[in-house]
Structure 1
Amino acid sequence: MCLLLLVSCSSLPQVVPDMQTQSEKSIQIKGGRGILSEEKSQAILDKLKSDKHDNNILDQHIAIESAITGSPLTSGNQVTLLIDGPATYASMQAAIRGARDHINMETYILEADDVGRQFADLLISKQKQGVQVNLIYDSVGTMSTPVEFFKPMTDAGINVLEFNPVNPAMTRKGWDVNQRDHRKLLVVDGVTAFVGGINISSVYSSGSFRSKKRAADASDIPWRDTQVRMDGPVAAEFQKLFLTTWETQHGPPLAKKNYFPPLPVKGTELVRAIGSSPDDPYSVIYATFISAIQHAQAQVYLTNAYFIPDPQLCQALKDAVRRGVDVRLILPAKSDSALVLYASRSFYSELLHAGIKIYERQDALLHAKTALIDGVWSSIGSTNLDWRSFVYNQEINAVILSPQFGSQMQTMFERDMSASHLITEQEWSERPVSDRIKEFGASLWARWL
């Protein structure tokens, strides 16, 4: 009860649709050598536009995002969409093996299982080769991992930092047990960055699109998640977010490494790194989501593991439908938290009645946190659409403004949709009374889940 009273003071910002935006000409784009000139920025924006998309929609999302976040839009990035654990771990491990200067990793969960040991052994190997490894892990998220698991890493010279330790004897100034580091971030040599929803755990060892026979085995249910790899100038922005966390958590002094090397052009994508912390006045990621939805003109496609929306998010989704926007949600049919699952379902009636299409992903445990709006605005990160992510957690997302990358996101969304069950308002009205009772009970705890 005391904990609930302490966290009840937190709040979410009120985001209004007509908040001040910037004109396209005033938008600053950052390259590997700093802020680009207005002429170069304009040339990049012109090249980005596709004849297959409404250019005004892309212009609007770029302008709105710039006004909301205050973080730079970076050009010259190569962006790779990674679906599920096997593809993600293969790409991450390849980047780690290729590291020459340093590796910065930040994760919510790091388990002492096969996958966790693979990463630990690889990081130790690189540290012994002279590559400095700095690791941040969350105390609550990694509570089941024995302390002994980290000893070989520290013995090898890896800097290991526990975020907001649960152990009272290890508390730091500004410590709050309810504030957690939910980020999943890897930065290699300051030139490559990974973000998404994937922790370091063997639950991600298999892909989620498998034969029905195998997926029907409850003991072998795969996890469905998404990560993104970014090579190019945006890596510096994610690096800043990592180093800020290290500093605010009073980590030991870091070895003098080349954390901000020159960053040549790697691709053509515009990417924005967005981080939120409970120490901030409000969640920039939340404001970004609300604003993007409020200005959607054609589609809002959200895939999310823990969907417990606040009233403003619910209203933004319903208002979008009233404007003629196609709003679709892909949510879990199974979850690692029954309480969260029923709390999420307590919103179904309201949303279905408003005309929002809700799909539940079958034969996999959905853990992804992605969004696609108007085919040009994509988000991949650690942020769930719930109170905990927006108010109490430290989160991180990448926003990619690109019709080309949006096409890849659309394909991924449609693939998930084909493996999902569409819930109709009629079907939902006929669900058992026992489910309604569970939903009501879980909804009472929605803000603290």
Structure 2
Amino acid sequence: MPPVRPLLSRAASACSFALLAACSSLPTIAPDTAEAAGTGGVRIDGAHGPLSPDAQKRVLARLQAAGQDTDIFQRHLAYEQEIVGSPLSAGNRVTLLQDGPSTYQALYAAMAGAKNSIDMESYIIEDDEVGRRFATELKAAVARGVVVNLVYDSVGSIDTPKAYFEDLAAHGVNTLQFNPIDPLKAKAGWDVNSRDHRKLTIVDGRTAFVGGINISSVYSGGSFRQHTKYEPGHGQKVPWRDTDLQIDGPVVADFQKLFMDTWARQKGKAMASADYFPQVERQGDVVVRAIGGTSTEPYSQIYATLLSAVRSSSTSILLANAYFDPDPQLMGAIKDAAKRGVDVQLLLPSVSDTWLVSAAGRRHYGELLEAGVKIYERQGALLHSKTTLIDGVWCAVGSTNLDWRSFLHNDEIDAIVLSPAFGDQMRAAFANDLAQSQQLTLDKWQSRGLFPRLQEWSAGMWEYWL
């Protein structure tokens, strides 16, 4: 979601998009479909192609053992592969990046060391201190012979001056505007409600960055320290808490394919020749799957994968998300997990840059609390992370919010990471956030006033478009 913009402008834009766009729906995922998939269809690729059957069994056995009594690897992995169509990829190194400063420093270092290509896709690119630093890095890369391709969303970057992107193009950056608001500029058909919400950077076909962080100065401050009180309507007054991953290894090729698919679907001009798919040797021991979602696919792969993982959980679900407004099917899966004894913890924002999505999501708090779900609200920061950790082993990090827009109208991208060691890191990060959060109780929630109830009711009427 974008940093704060004038409320009237955003409301007008939302109404216009609603009138112009065709309705679509989320898929109905039958619970027994995952069980029927079995485990025989799970495929794991290494640096040099598919692993042998024995090697695949060893990888899955190690992951399954880490999950103790979880059945996630009996039921989920094969189903996920049927949904996504791409294999698990072994031999990767995954680095957890928390908040803007650490993520930007890692990105700057990778771009400065690029020798072949930089491919960047971002919902928001602002012409501020951070945006200008990225522009400098991209132009410098072009000057030393690196091919640079950049996709930006026309709505997410609506406040960025046209001159910013013209300057990049003048310096040799190959730019592509996703679904231009102006229908005369739309080369792939005009569907202004379909947005590119991804945040993805690929360097030399070897390193990928994926997560929730846009290119904006709102991320300049870290979130793990005391700050001034949040002022409603002024998101810049509070630090933004977000999460990204740096991934090195064979799976980067799958992220590269997703980037190039976006470029092709939007009919961008031919990309300059470069070694986009180099032979990447084993970099670590982490198993990763790249998943992309688009508004044009017959069903949301990311949605179906998440629903399968939640239904397959047996011990714990730790879910942190900036914009939480789930559909009835996902709500049911979360409540069912809590009712069967899974420790379900939701980490959600206490403040937001958009009251509409926040209020729409809060309508569900009562029934979640009644089902045994624990809800915490992050204090002292604007929570923008999109992470899920299931049974301590299955982890999703990416750009996907748990709302209707992400699953129906946006292009999104997630990394699914299977690793007990990385799961420990995610659990520790979640615990650090909980230490700066307040838990909601059912009694406290039921005693809220009339005004927030009215906000929740009115926002709920717009949830399909938020």
Q: Under a length normalisation based on structure 2, what TM-score does the superposition of the two structures give? A: 0.93
- What is the CA–CA distance in structure 1 between the aligned matches of 2:427 and 2:31, rounded to whole Å? 25
Instruction: Tell me what 1:91 maps to.
Output: 106
Number of residue pairs matched? 447
Instruction: Tell me what 1:349 maps to.
Output: 366
Aligned residues of 1:58 and 1:376 also touching (Cα < 8 A): no
1:243 and 2:260 matched: yes
CA-to-partner distance for each residue in 1:7-61, whole Å, 9 max, x for gaps? 4530111112211454444421112222222223223334445567347544444
Distance 1:145 1:2, change over 3 A: closer
Tell me how far 1:401 sits from its aligned partner: 1.0
1:173 and 2:188 matched: yes
1:252 and 2:269 matched: yes
- What is the CA–CA distance in structure 1 between the aligned matches of 2:60 and 2:303, rounded to whole Å? 25
Instruction: Tell me what 2:391 maps to.
Output: 374
Instruction: Tell me what 2:356 maps to.
Output: 339
Give the CA RMSD over aligned residues. 1.6
Aligned equivalent of 2:151, options 136, 158, 163: 136
Distance 1:235 1:203, change over 3 A: same
Tell me how far 1:216 sits from its aligned partner: 2.8
- What is the CA–CA distance in structure 1 between the aligned matches of 2:122 and 2:201, rounded to whole Å? 8
- What is the CA–CA distance in structure 1 between the aligned matches of 2:22 and 2:447, rounded to whole Å? 35
Tell me how far 1:174 sits from its aligned partner: 2.4
Instruction: Tell me what 2:214 maps to.
Output: 199
Q: Percent identity?
A: 51
- What is the CA–CA distance in structure 2 between the aligned matches of 1:442 and 1:205, rounded to whole Å? 30
Instruction: Tell me what 2:296 maps to.
Output: 279
Pairs within 5 Å for 1:17-416: 17-20=31-34, 21-48=36-63, 50=65, 53-54=68-69, 56-211=71-226, 214-216=227-229, 218=231, 220-416=237-433
After the TM superposition, which of the residue ranges 218-227 and 139-148 deviates more from structure 2?
218-227
After the TM superposition, which of the residue ranges 395-404 and 149-158 deviates more from structure 2?
149-158
CA-to-partner distance for each residue in 1:61-83, whole Å, 9 max, x for gaps? 43342233222100000000111
Aligned residues of 1:300 and 1:326 also touching (Cα < 8 A): yes
Aligned equivalent of 2:24, options 4, 10, 32: 10
Aligned residues of 1:80 and 1:229 also touching (Cα < 8 A): yes
After the TM superposition, which of the residue ranges 87-96 and 103-112 deviates more from structure 2?
87-96
Distance 1:167 1:174, change over 3 A: closer
Distance 1:3 1:133, change over 3 A: closer
Equivalent position amino acid for 1:327 in 2: V
Aligned residues of 2:90 and 2:288 also touching (Cα < 8 A): yes
Instruction: Tell me what 1:417 maps to.
Output: 434
Aligned residues of 2:183 and 2:190 also touching (Cα < 8 A): no
- What is the CA–CA distance in structure 1 between the aligned matches of 2:16 and 2:106, rounded to whole Å? 44
SS at match of 2:346: strand
Q: Under a length normalisation based on structure 1, what TM-score does the superposition of the two structures give? A: 0.96
Aligned residues of 2:325 and 2:404 also touching (Cα < 8 A): yes
Equivalent position amino acid for 2:139 in 1: I
Unaligned segments of structure 1, at least 5 residues: none
Distance 1:55 1:178, change over 3 A: closer
Equivalent position amino acid for 2:29 in 1: V
Aligned residues of 2:92 and 2:287 also touching (Cα < 8 A): yes
SS at match of 2:246: strand
